[in-house]
């Protein structure tokens, strides 16, 4: 580890998420504040191995706090998973005199950073950027709040057409293997049912519940399905099953897809990104390494990277109960 950190590299990796630009801005400005040099690394680990570096100062990040995506671009790199790839990255960093890294991304990004730290003793700090909210050690990942707002807006619009045509809509939302987006946006969008991987409702209980809600006077329904849910093989088979087993409902499917990852970050994500960037830089300056910054009880705290990767982000059981009661 260098005596004193003077030059920090920052990059985004994995699926982009709203708030990544705000986090880059925060890292760059925190570096400027502490008289450190800051280098932007393009296209995540790919750019790191190729030395695709760009010096950044406080003015390089003007006008980006409100922008979705990431100005540094992102990628999922296979080569960095090899020892040779990581060796190349280390050589590029040494050539440039970069002595610490801030990695903005999800668990794949953190796994790469942690291995890199173990192999070369290189100081790394992670900032959780993913819409999935599937990282242990933070109540919110960057982009989760914005994605929720995007999904709720979409559900509201679909409900208009669902109720006009007395239809049942299955709406698939992202979230990889977890149901945080589905559960939260489902409650906020007034979904009749929410299907998440953490809870196996079962096809028969789903049909039963839809019949019950129709009996109670509902003429249309919204079912939010997390992409990782295992109840049907996929959402289209789910539709087929309900078509075959429930008479009289006109069923449609809407897969929201990558629009959930785009758009201007919410106020919450901008503030969170600003706080996390400052904490990441200042923690490196204090000599800390191999941690992720996260939000815990409204404080920005550090969690060891291995815990952030291995620990599971738990579904909020109270939300599950509230969603059951709301669908009465």
Instruction: Give, as ranges, the residues between 246 and 265 that touch ligand F6P (CB under 6 A).
Output: 261
Q: What is the DSSP letter of 264?
A: P
Contact criterion met (CB below 8 Å) for 25 and 148: no
- Residue 194, classified by CB atoms within 10 Å of its CB into exposed (0-12), middle (13-18) or buried (19+), is buried
Give the nearer residue to ligand F6P in terms of CB position, either 73 or 176: 176
Pairing label, strands 53-56, 7-12: unpaired
Judged by CB under 6 A, the stretch of 66-74, 78-86, 173-181, 243-251 that binds ligand F6P is 173-181
Q: Which residues does residue 301 pair with via DSSP β-bridges, in sequence order?
A: 294
Angle between helix 267-285 and 20-33 (nearest 10): 40
Q: Which is nearer to ligand F6P, 144 or 170 (CB)?
A: 144
Single out the segment in contact with ligand F6P by CB under 6 A; choices: 18-26, 42-50, 61-69, 170-178.
170-178
* Residue span binding ligand F6P (CB under 6 A) among the ranges 80-88, 129-137, 187-195, 209-217: 129-137
Q: Are 129 and 27 in contact (CB under 8 A)?
A: no
Q: Exactly one of 148, 174, 210, 302 binds ligand F6P (CB under 6 A); which one?
A: 174
Nearer to ligand F6P by C-beta: 221 or 260?
A: 260
CB atoms within 10 A of CB 153: 13
Q: Does residue 176 touch ligand F6P according to CB under 6 A?
A: yes
**From 51-59, 125-133, 149-157, 196-204, span contacting ligand F6P (CB under 6 A):** 125-133
Query: For 33-70, b where at least 16 C-beta lie within 10 A, e where not — what string?
Result: ebebbbbbbbbbbbbbbeebbeebeeebbeebbebbbb
19 is a contact residue toward ligand F6P (CB under 6 A): no
Using only the alpha carbons of the chain, give its radius of gyration: 22
Please, which of residues 224-243 interact with ligand F6P by CB under 6 A?
227
Candidate segments 148-156, 168-176, 202-210, 243-251, binder of ligand F6P by CB under 6 A: 168-176
- Cβ–Cβ < 8 Å for 144, 180: yes
Of 11, 42, 50, residue with least CA distance to 27 = 11
Of 16, 46, 99, 132, which one is the catalytic site residue? 132
- Taking a C-beta distance cutoff of 8 angstroms, is the pair 143, 186 a contact? no
What is the smallest separation between the CB atom of 147 and ligand F6P, expressed in angstroms? 8
Q: Residue 254 pairs with which residues in a beta bridge?
A: 171
Binding residues with ligand F6P: total (CB under 6 A): 10
Closest distance between ligand F6P and the C-beta of residue 227, in Å? Answer: 6
131 binds ligand F6P (CB under 6 A): yes
Site for ligand F6P in 74-113 (CB under 6 A): 106
Contacts with ligand F6P in 177-216 (CB under 6 A)? Answer: none
SS3 43: coil
Gap between the Cα atoms of 74 and 201, Å rounded: 36
| 177 tagged catalytic | no
Answer for which of 130, 254, 290, 313 binds ligand F6P (CB under 6 A) is 130
**Minimum CB–partner distance for residue 149 and ligand F6P (Å):** 16
Q: Binder to ligand F6P among 37, 92, 132, 192 (CB under 6 A)?
A: 132
Footprint on this chain of ligand F6P (rule: CB under 6 A): 15, 106, 130-132, 174-176, 227, 261
Catalytic positions, written as ranges: 132
């Amino acid at each position: 580890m260098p005596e004193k950190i003077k030059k920090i590299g920052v990059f985004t990796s994995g699926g982009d998420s709203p708030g990544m630009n705000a986090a880059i801005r925060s890292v760059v400005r925190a570096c400027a504040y502490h008289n450190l040099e800051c280098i932007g690394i393009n296209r995540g680990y790919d750019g790191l191995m190729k030395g695709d570096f760009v010096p950044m100062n406080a003015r390089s990040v003007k006008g980006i706090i409100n922008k979705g995506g990431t100005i540094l671009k992102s990628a999922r790199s296979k080569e960095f998973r090899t020892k040779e790839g990581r060796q190349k990255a280390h050589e590029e960093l040494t050539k440039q005199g970069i002595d610490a890294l801030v990695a903005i991304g999800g668990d794949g990004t953190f796994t790469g950073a942690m291995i890199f730290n173990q192999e070369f003793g290189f100081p790394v700090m992670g900032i959780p950027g993913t819409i999935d909210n599937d990282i242990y050690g933070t109540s919110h990942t960057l982009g989760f709040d914005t994605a929720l707002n995007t999904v709720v807006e979409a559900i509201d619009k679909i409900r208009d057409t669902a109720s006009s045509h007395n239809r049942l809509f299955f709406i698939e939302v992202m979230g990889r293997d977890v149901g945080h987006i589905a559960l939260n946006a489902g409650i906020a969008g007034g979904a009749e049912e929410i299907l998440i991987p953490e809870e196996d409702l079962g096809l028969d209980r789903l049909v039963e519940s839809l019949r019950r809600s129709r009996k109670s006077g509902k003429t249309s329904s919204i079912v939010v399905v997390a992409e990782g849910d295992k109840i049907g093989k996929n959402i289209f088979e789910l539709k087929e099953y309900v078509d075959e087993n429930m008479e009289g409902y006109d069923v449609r499917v809407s897969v929201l897809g990558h629009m959930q990852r785009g758009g201007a970050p919410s106020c919450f994500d901008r503030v969170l990104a600003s706080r996390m960037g400052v904490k990441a830089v200042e923690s490196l300056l204090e000599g800390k390494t191999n941690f992720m910054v996260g939000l815990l009880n409204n404080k920005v705290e550090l969690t060891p990277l291995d815990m952030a990767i291995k620990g599971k982000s738990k579904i909020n059981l109270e939300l599950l109960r509230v969603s059951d009661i709301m669908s009465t």
